[in-house]
Amino acid sequence: MDSFLIEGGVPLKGEVLISGSKNAVLPIMAATLLTAETCVIRKVPDLSDVGFMAKILRSLGAEVSLEGGTLTVKAEKLSGFGDYELIRKMRGSICILGPLLARLKEARVSLPGGCVIGTRPIDLHLKGLQALGAAVEVDSGYVRVHAPKLDGQMVFLGGRVGPTVLGTANILMAATLAEGVTVIESAACEPEIIDLADFLNAMGAKIHGAGSPTITVTGVKELHGAEHEVIPDRIEAGTFAAAAVATGGEVILRGARPDHLGAVLDKLREVGGVVTRNAGSLTVRGGGVLRPVDITTMPYSGFPTDMQAQLMAVACLAPGTSIITERIFESRFMHASELMRLGAEIAIEGPSAIVKGGRPLSGAPVMASDLRASAALVIAGLAAGGKTQVNRVYHLDRGYERMELKLQALGARISRVPGE
């Protein structure tokens, strides 16, 4: 397995182009299954998760090509039975369930996997599909759904920790070909849901209210091919912004959408960063005295759970006590023990991490446990003295496009060490 070798202590300076959004492109790729016509998606990031999803679409019978950030899919011939081994490895693969049910009236997929960050059940997905008229069976690691037809209904997707993003995507896609009107209440409001709805509308769907808690979908008989450009990745932008603050650098985030980053930018300012909006970009500067911060992860537009680990790395550098509370996933503090290997002082008390910051970090070998934890360890390594080796960076390759090359262009002393 590959690792990153980092020699820290260098402020990041320069410009980085933000890639297309991982969390937006995976549901959009699944949505191409709703039509037999050709779909063209642009600004597709070069990620292992995208490659996995492309393999899944091919295993279902779709013709898929990806070249130079442009994805072309034609799902003229389609099977509703997904490859067990492929699907179970990636959480985002569950997004094929709604499109397959809508188009073929049945589907069978394996229960999905992904990062080990706590229980992420799909009960709300299945509840929503049942509300539209589907019969659901879960057996031997598979989910099977079937329905002679889908009927528009009121669907409530509120869960224990708020709306489900992938569940909203699944019901949204299934409802496009249902008869009548579907109203999704307590829908996820993330920008990625808006991007999916924009693509579906370009295909001929009739969706109103995406980005609000209530989405209305008027079903149509069929969808057609369309072209679409994926939104910038707000988590990648937030990660590079956090790295700029942590290293006392100054980074221009080309293509970043400040309207998607409100809570993240607010906390970066609070911790001591300076954020400037420019036409088509953001500039984030560190270098001042860092301050402790209190953070609680929440559904959008609150502070995103996908930025919790990265801000914890910054908090480790800020003198004083920061409190970081995780309300979305119950096992998303696995990076804390690895940050402690670098010299951080962190105590976990229930859903909160108590970070006593300001101690100098020093390089050490650390192990990445999941995608965003990997990013946090890279940020800490960039700020630490000496050399840090971040192992198992295949997690990073799932969600960050050529991260080490982008950091090198900003002056970071970082290299990829091929695994055996």
SS (H, E, C) the chain: CCEEEEECCCCCEEEEECCECHHHHHHHHHHHHHCCCEEEEECCCCCHHHHHHHHHHHHCCCEEEEECCEEEEECCCCCCECCHHHHCCCHHHHHHHHHHHHHHCEEEEECCCCCCCCCCCCHHHHHHHHHCCCEEEEECCEEEEECCCCECCEEECEECCEECHHHHHHHHHHHCCCECEEEEECCCCCHHHHHHHHHHHHCCCEEECECECEEEEECCCCCCCCEEECCECHHHHHHHHHHHHHHCCEEEEECCCHHHCHHHHHHHHHHCCEEEEECCEEEEECCCCCCCCEEEECCCCCECHHHHHHHHHHHCCCCEEEEEECCCCCCCCHHHHHHHHCCCEEEEECCEEEEEECCCCECCEEECCCHHHHHHHHHHHHHCECEEEEECCHHHHHHCCCHHHHHHHCCCEEEEECCC
Choose, from 39, 95, 115, 189, the residue flagged as catalytic: 115
Q: How close are the terminal C-alpha atoms of the chain, in Å?
A: 7
* pLDDT reading at 168 higher than 80: yes
Q: Looking at per-residue confidence, does 86 or 306 come out higher?
A: 306
Lowest mean pLDDT among 105-109, 154-158, 231-235, 292-296: 105-109
**CA atoms within 13 Å, Cβ hemisphere of 295:** 34
> How much is the CA Rg of the chain, to the nearest whole Å?
21
Known catalytic residue at 189? no
Q: Looking at per-residue confidence, does 5 or 332 come out higher?
A: 5
227-229 sheet: strands from edge to edge? 63-67, 70-74, 38-42, 227-229
pLDDT tens column, 111-161 = 765 434 334 478 899 999 999 999 999 887 888 999 999 999 999 999 888
* pLDDT reading at 419 higher than 90: no
Q: Do domains 3-19+232-417 and 22-229 have the same CATH topology?
A: yes
Predicted local confidence at residue 117, as pLDDT: 33
For CA atoms 305, 89, 27, 378, the dihedral sign is: positive
Which residues are bridge partners to 116 per DSSP?
none
Which residues are bridge partners to 71 per DSSP?
41, 66
Under CATH, which architecture does the 22-229 domain have?
A: Alpha-beta prism (3.65)
CA distance 229 to 40: 9
Predicted local confidence at residue 282, as pLDDT: 97
pLDDT band at 92 (very low <50, low <70, confident <90, very high): confident
Predicted local confidence at residue 113, as pLDDT: 53
Mean pLDDT of 362-389: 96
Percentage of residues of the chain with pLDDT beyond 70: 97
Q: Looking at per-residue confidence, does 44 or 91 come out higher?
A: 44
* pLDDT reading at 28 higher than 60: yes
Residues 368, 344 contacting (CB under 8 angstroms): no
Predicted local confidence at residue 116, as pLDDT: 40
Percentage of residues of the chain with pLDDT beyond 90: 86
Average pLDDT across the chain, whole number = 94
* pLDDT reading at 169 higher than 60: yes
pLDDT tens column, 260-312 = 999 999 999 999 999 999 889 999 999 899 999 999 999 999 999 999 999 99
Predicted local confidence at residue 118, as pLDDT: 39
Predicted local confidence at residue 119, as pLDDT: 42
Neighbour tally for 154: CB within 10 Å: 10
CA distance 152 to 106: 17
pLDDT tens column, 306-317 = 999 999 999 999
Q: 100 to each of 73, 146, 195, how far by Cα in Å?
A: 15, 10, 20
pTM for the model stands at 0.96
CA distance 298 to 392: 28
Predicted local confidence at residue 1, as pLDDT: 86
The pair of three-digit structure tokens given for residue 223, joined into one six-digit string = 């969808």
CA distance 21 to 92: 13
Mean pLDDT of 376-391: 98
CA distance 376 to 396: 10
Is the link from the previous residue into 301 a cis peptide, with omega within 30 of 0? yes
Buried b / exposed e across 186-212, counting CB within 10 Å, b at 16+?
bbbbbbbbbbbbbbbbebbbebeebbe
How is the chain split into domains, by residue range?
3-19+232-417, 22-229
Fold for the domain defined by 3-19+232-417: UDP-n-acetylglucosamine1-carboxyvinyl-transferase; Chain (3.65.10)
Predicted local confidence at residue 85, as pLDDT: 76
